Amino acid sequence: MDNKDISTLHASCIRFMPLVTQYNHTFLSLGEWWQKVTLIGKINSHSVTPTLIDDMEVTRRHFKELQANLINNLVKENIRKLELECSARAQVAIDILIRNLFERTADVGFLATDDDIRTFLRESTPTEQQHQAIVDRLHEYTTKYSVYDEILILDTQGRVRANLDETNQVVNSNDPLIRETLETTQPYVETFRRSNLQSGRRAAHIFSAPIRDDEQHGGNLLGVLCLCFRFEDEVNGIFANLVGEDEIIAILDQNNRVISSSNEQILPFGYRVSGSGQSGINFIELEEQNFLSHQNKTKGYQGYNGLNWLGLILRPVQKAFAEKSAATKSDAVQLQRSSIFSKTLQNIAYRAERVVDDLSLVVLNGQIVSAKRNAIEFMPVLEEIRTIGYRTKGVFDESIDDLCNTVVSSLLSDVQFQAFLAVDIMDRNLYERANDVRWWALTSCFREILAQPLRSHQDDATLASVLEYINGLYTVYTNLMLFDSNGTIVAVSNIDENHLIGQTMPDQAVIKKTLAVSDSKHYTVSPFTATPLYNGQHTYLYQTSIRAQHNNKTVGGICVVFDGKPEFLAMLQDSLPRDNNQQILNGAFGLFTDRHGLIIASTKPDLLPGQTLQLESHFFQLENGERDSVILQYNGDQYAVGAAMSKGYREYKTTGDYQNDVLALIFVPV
């Protein structure tokens, strides 16, 4: 916004700032009384030198200038805090969604190459048994990747050959996305609009990819795969974690129309938000209510920006500047001269003290002059002027204290939110890892080849080729490996680690547990420890058994090596607070630890994975999903610290599948 817009915004908002309104009224009352007292002095004290009255008037004007400056800066601080808070939440709303959707782009590309789906499409008239087998496979897929509620397999003519949702009656479709997908040179097509492929939806969110036969069968187009994302379910979960009391959070499409809202009574689906594209805080009127709004474009994730959607937040203007109470008065007073508190306001407090000192000298001089000239009637005027001066100074002190309390409360709220964001991103990311390993274990060629009594070199090459292809799509892993029923590594995706082939998997206790997995639901995760499978660094290994298709006997297993160091670091860096230039606040850092303080990741170079963090124990005792924030001393420096304990995401760590509590900590120097 330009300066004119900012001034208009300040003037419009000031009446909704309770403390600012209160102090402004007090200052006006004191100023009026000061003028009256000075006028009484002029009328009744003819023997007092006029310069004394002039000096008091000069002091009054100095106070008045400071008052105007203070009120203006209080308004600026309130709006600045509001903008930072709203911007953070709108940004998170869209970016968490984009992170999730990025994973979907890999899913659809990989599933479109599934051998079982290809084999099914080659059959011009599949049997009922073949049809049921492919539906069962799709169901198996969504029990892992529960972010989808429908999967459709279509031939090149738009005929639905198989789909998951029994209530979906579509048998043929001429939706343009089918032709677009068949003709695309890209790995996938993303569509969000009405479609007869999901006719019951006001908008279907579909990731589609062409299904091509393998090279052995000519590589011809066989059809189209459509993965239907549970958009409403996902965004409602995001909103539930972000929306505050009376707030509205929404996602806007590229045309500024609402595609999802936390309150559709006020901000309905399809509503076009006026003023979209403007930066900063803006006014918007809905249903005869006034809101302050802020919107953010996605920052994208690994080059993916989705369909150029926006995150939007609305706060009722009447409650946008409500006071917070997270900070104690002692915290606020202690931090008044810290870097988080405006230098301008610190200077106003200092100047107010100087003006009071000047006023005291004026009053003392007046008392001396009045005594010499026997102007006894002027003494009460001087005392009242002194009292007004001290009362005015008291209001200055109180207003600045209250603002400092608001700043500290806002900071504590922010670091708590950022800690929650970090651990939520982690839970969501690792949910995908648990899904990946279980689904890949069902790859037909893995099950067939590992079930053979003897494998040829060609068999091993096939296994390695498939692993390499998968790893090319899912780049958060440094290596994918298969091992036989003895725990011996037989194939890897990373050719630089071919030396591992023939070696026994480390941590035989975990491997024994992995090989004991007897269904497609369960999996194992290694402790967070240094492993030779990750160049001696700390990470998690996700593993599960691979079972023969004909008798379900365990014939080996799959292990995926999560690239923990850069991935966890990126999650923390994305969660750290930033300034107006989107730079991480100087001195801020973040960590992931377990309940014992074992460091999983850290943005602070001297706090390394595998070390133990020495910190107040109450953080490590938080309940799952619980958050906290405090001001504390760490290594001689003072920080606002936000903490949040993991609670899982969807089925991950919420259904007894896996227990591993992670604490996220955000430190901001104060």
The band of 4, judged by pLDDT with boundaries at 50, 70 and 90, is: very low
Please compute the mean of the pLDDT values over residues 186-214 and round it to a whole number: 95
Q: Are 34 and 385 in contact (CB under 8 A)?
A: yes
462 CB neighbour count, 10 Å cutoff: 17
Question: pLDDT tens across 39-83, in order?
Answer: 766 666 655 566 666 777 777 787 788 788 888 878 888 888 888
Residue 337 pLDDT = 54
Q: Is residue 523 part of a domain?
A: yes
Helix (H) or strand (E) holding 358: helix 343-372
Q: Is residue 441 part of a domain?
A: no
The larger pLDDT score, comparing residue 276 to residue 58, is at: 58
Q: Is residue 445 part of a domain?
A: no
- How far, in Å, CA of 486 to CA of 480, rounded? 18
122 CB neighbour count, 10 Å cutoff: 12
Residue ending a domain, among 534, 563, 592, is 563
Q: Is residue 618 part of a domain?
A: yes
The band of 377, judged by pLDDT with boundaries at 50, 70 and 90, is: low
Q: Is 224 helix (H, G, I), strand (E, B) or coil?
A: strand
Distances (CA, A) of 548 to 443, 491, 512, 515, 518: 11, 17, 18, 13, 11
- Per DSSP, the residues of 535-593 read TTEEE-EEEEEEE-TTT--EEEEEEEEE-HHHHHHHHHHHHS-B-TTSPBPTT-EEEEE
Please compute the mean of the pLDDT values over residues 14-24 and round it to a whole number: 78
- Contacts with 14 (C-beta within 8 Å, 6 or more apart), sequence order: 20, 21, 24, 71, 75
Q: Is residue 216 part of a domain?
A: yes
421, pLDDT greater than 80: yes
Q: How many domains does the chain have?
A: 4
Q: Do 121 and 254 reside in the same domain of the chain?
A: yes
Q: Are 386 and 360 in contact (CB under 8 A)?
A: yes
Q: Do 75 and 146 reside in the same domain of the chain?
A: no
Q: Is residue 74 part of a domain?
A: yes
543, pLDDT greater than 90: yes
Q: Do 263 and 142 reside in the same domain of the chain?
A: yes
455 CB neighbour count, 10 Å cutoff: 16
Q: Do 183 and 46 reside in the same domain of the chain?
A: no
Q: Are 422 and 664 in contact (CB under 8 A)?
A: yes
**Gap between the terminal Cα atoms of the chain:** 29
Residue of 230, 584, 562 lying closest to 426 (CA atoms): 562
Residue of 366, 345, 346, 357 lying closest to 389 (CA atoms): 357
Q: Is residue 458 part of a domain?
A: no
- How far, in Å, CA of 139 to CA of 521, rounded? 12
3, pLDDT greater than 60: no
Structure tokens at 609: 């994975």
Residue ending a domain, among 563, 597, 631, is 563
The band of 331, judged by pLDDT with boundaries at 50, 70 and 90, is: low
Residue 2 pLDDT = 47
190, pLDDT greater than 90: yes
Q: Is 474 helix (H, G, I), strand (E, B) or coil?
A: coil
Residue 82 pLDDT = 86
Average pLDDT of the chain is 88
376, pLDDT greater than 70: no
In 3-state terms the chain splits into helix, strand, coil percentages (rounded to 5) of: 45, 20, 30
The larger pLDDT score, comparing residue 644 to residue 658, is at: 644
Strand partners, 140: none
Distances (CA, A) of 376 to 54, 366, 369, 384: 19, 11, 10, 14
Please compute the mean of the pLDDT values over residues 313-339 and round it to a whole number: 66
C-alpha 601 chain-centroid distance: 18
Range of the domain at 514: 463-563
Q: Are 642 and 422 in contact (CB under 8 A)?
A: no
Residue 495 pLDDT = 96
Please compute the mean of the pLDDT values over residues 146-173 and round it to a whole number: 96
- How far, in Å, CA of 168 to CA of 449, rounded? 36
654, pLDDT greater than 70: yes
Q: Do 530 and 389 reside in the same domain of the chain?
A: no
Burial class, 485, CB count within 10 angstroms (exposed 0-12 / middle 13-18 / buried 19+):
middle
- Contacts with 188 (C-beta within 8 Å, 6 or more apart), sequence order: 105, 108, 109, 181, 207, 208, 209
Residue ending a domain, among 405, 420, 451, is 405
Q: Do 135 and 273 reside in the same domain of the chain?
A: yes
Please compute the mean of the pLDDT values over residues 151-172 and round it to a whole number: 96
Question: pLDDT tens across 336-354, in order?
Answer: 555 566 677 677 777 777 7
- How far, in Å, CA of 645 to CA of 624, rounded? 5
Helix (H) or strand (E) holding 460: helix 457-473
Please compute the mean of the pLDDT values over residues 385-399 and round it to a whole number: 77
Q: Do 263 and 311 reside in the same domain of the chain?
A: yes
Please compute the mean of the pLDDT values over residues 276-298 and round it to a whole number: 83
Identify the weakest region by mean pLDDT among 70-74, 235-239, 326-330, 487-491: 326-330
The alpha helices in 112-193, defined as continuous H runs, are 115-122, 128-144, 176-183
Q: Are 664 and 592 in contact (CB under 8 A)?
A: yes
Strand partners, 248: 314
554, pLDDT greater than 80: yes
Q: Do 103 and 215 reside in the same domain of the chain?
A: yes
The larger pLDDT score, comparing residue 408 to residue 166, is at: 166
Please compute the mean of the pLDDT values over residues 287-306 and round it to a whole number: 91
Q: Do 262 and 115 reside in the same domain of the chain?
A: yes
- How far, in Å, CA of 68 to CA of 72, rounded? 6
- How far, in Å, CA of 252 to CA of 248, rounded? 13
Q: Is 486 helix (H, G, I), strand (E, B) or coil?
A: coil
Task: State percent of the chain over pLDDT 90.
Answer: 64
- Global pTM reads 0.86
614-651 core/surface letters (b: 16 or more CB in 10 A; e: else):
ebeeebbebeeeebbbbbeeeeeeebbbbbbbbbbbbb
Residue 7 pLDDT = 61
Q: Do 7 and 95 reside in the same domain of the chain?
A: no
- For position 541, which CATH number holds? 3.30.450.20
Q: Is residue 451 part of a domain?
A: no
**Helices H, strands E: what count in the chain?**
14, 22
Residue 277 pLDDT = 55
Q: Do 263 and 381 reside in the same domain of the chain?
A: no
- Contacts with 123 (C-beta within 8 Å, 6 or more apart), sequence order: 130
Helix (H) or strand (E) holding 331: helix 329-334
Phi-psi region of 467 (alpha: psi -120 to 50; beta: other; left: phi over 0): alpha
Question: pLDDT tens across 71-108, in order?
Answer: 887 888 888 888 888 888 999 999 999 999 999 999 99
Q: Do 162 and 305 reside in the same domain of the chain?
A: yes
